[in-house]
């Protein structure tokens, strides 16, 4: 069973914020969440990025700011055995890292608004991503505490001033959900993220939640406003759409890799969701981007 991980920066380092450079054969962190905000720059690698209910492809240069307790992970694809295929610089910090109320002062309003938007997850692009990447490299190498703090604030100001961004997880959390329910539903979502391309069962998800299948169905619908099968299908169709657009694989292979073991069920479900067959979806997208 996958457990969401919690990180306490003060416990780990005693510093106001933490900067780490990861170099791995593939990104290994599971779908998880923590109380810190997180800014992640992908230095090397490609694959799928999961932020809340959003799944999107990522490549080198991808820059994302995540708010507190927002579940996320990066899954590597097209890796070469025995080589470093994945590299990222990760900046983590709490909203009160520079003192209680620091970021609610008038001088910090731009950053305060940035923190509020980060609850949905924000992907930055263009000049903003390029400039912030330079600052992250500097922050990683800077040893002087005061200068580190200045660079940290400059990064937040650059992000707050930017209009080159996309909100990732637009579905808002249900108001009134308890901490226990939040932890339980994130465990279930972690299970879905790790298994939707393979065999995934209602019984397995119910076991993760510690409920009977019948009780789990009612619980999942109450918390997410969707059925378990609907959520799994959304992930599978989303993955299939991205593979249709970004690869030349046969449609039947894409359906199988997306978690559909019956080709006819894949075609039928895809058409219901998109009003187009998989092949027409691929042709339409490629025609649109070449016009």
pLDDT at 274 over 60: yes
CATH of 9-167, one of 3.40.50.1820, 3.40.50.450, 2.60.120.280, 3.40.50.720: 2.60.120.280
Alpha-carbon distance of 14 to 10, in angstroms, equals 4
Structure confidence at residue 6 (pLDDT): 44
Alpha-carbon distance of 40 to 120, in angstroms, equals 15
Compute the mean pLDDT over every residue in the chain, rounded to the nearest whole number.
89
Least Cα distance to 230 among 239, 240, 220 occurs for: 220
DSSP strand pairing (86-93 vs 37-44) = antiparallel
pLDDT at 258 over 60: yes
pLDDT at 279 over 50: yes
Structure confidence at residue 177 (pLDDT): 62
With bands split at pLDDT 50, 70 and 90, how would you rate the model's confidence at 146? very high
Structure confidence at residue 107 (pLDDT): 92
Poorest-confidence range of 5-14, 35-44, 225-234?
Answer: 5-14
pLDDT tens digit string along 220-229? 999 888 999 9
pLDDT tens digit string along 83-110? 999 999 999 999 999 999 999 999 999 9
CA distances from 121 to 10, 96, 118, 198, 250 (A): 23, 19, 5, 27, 33
pLDDT at 270 over 90: yes
pLDDT at 14 over 70: no
With bands split at pLDDT 50, 70 and 90, how would you rate the model's confidence at 287? low
**More confident of the two residues 10 and 284:** 284
Domain with CATH 2.60.120.280 in the chain: 9-167
What does CATH list as the number for 179-290?
1.10.10.60
CA distances from 146 to 3, 140, 177 (A): 36, 14, 40
Mean pLDDT of 171-184: 65
Structure confidence at residue 22 (pLDDT): 94
pLDDT tens digit string along 53-65? 899 999 999 999 9
Structure confidence at residue 24 (pLDDT): 94
Domain with CATH 1.10.10.60 in the chain: 179-290
pLDDT at 207 over 70: yes
Give the pTM.
Answer: 0.79
């Amino acid at each position: 069973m996958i457990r969401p991980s919690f990180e306490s920066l003060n416990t780990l380092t005693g510093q106001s914020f933490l900067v780490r450079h990861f170099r791995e054969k593939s990104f290994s962190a599971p779908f998880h969440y923590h109380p810190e905000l997180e800014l992640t720059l992908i230095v090397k690698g490609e694959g799928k990025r999961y932020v809340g209910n959003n799944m999107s492809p990522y490549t080198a240069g991808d820059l994302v700011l995540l708010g507190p307790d927002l579940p996320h992970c990066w899954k590597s694809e097209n890796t070469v055995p025995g080589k470093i295929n994945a590299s990222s610089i990760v900046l983590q910090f709490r909203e009160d890292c520079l003192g209680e109320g620091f970021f609610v002062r008038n001088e910090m309003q731009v950053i305060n608004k940035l923190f509020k938007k980060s609850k949905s997850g924000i992907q930055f692009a263009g000049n903003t991503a390029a400039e912030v990447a330079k600052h992250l490299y500097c922050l990683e190498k800077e040893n002087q505490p005061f200068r580190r703090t200045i660079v940290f604030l400059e990064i937040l100001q650059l992000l707050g001033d930017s209009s080159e961004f996309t909100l990732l997880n637009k579905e808002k959390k249900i108001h009134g959900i308890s901490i226990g329910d939040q932890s339980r539903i994130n465990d279930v979502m972690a299970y879905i993220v790790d298994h939707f391309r393979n065999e995934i069962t209602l019984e397995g998800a119910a076991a993760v939640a510690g409920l009977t299948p019948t009780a789990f169905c009612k619980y999942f619908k109450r918390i997410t406003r969707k059925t378990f099968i609907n959520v799994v299908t959304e992930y599978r169709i989303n993955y299939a759409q991205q593979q249709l657009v970004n690869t030349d694989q046969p449609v039947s292979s894409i359906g199988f890799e997306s978690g559909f073991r019956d080709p006819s069920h894949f075609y039928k479900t895809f058409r219901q969701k998109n009003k187009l067959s998989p092949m027409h979806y691929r042709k339409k997208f490629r025609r649109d981007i070449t016009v």
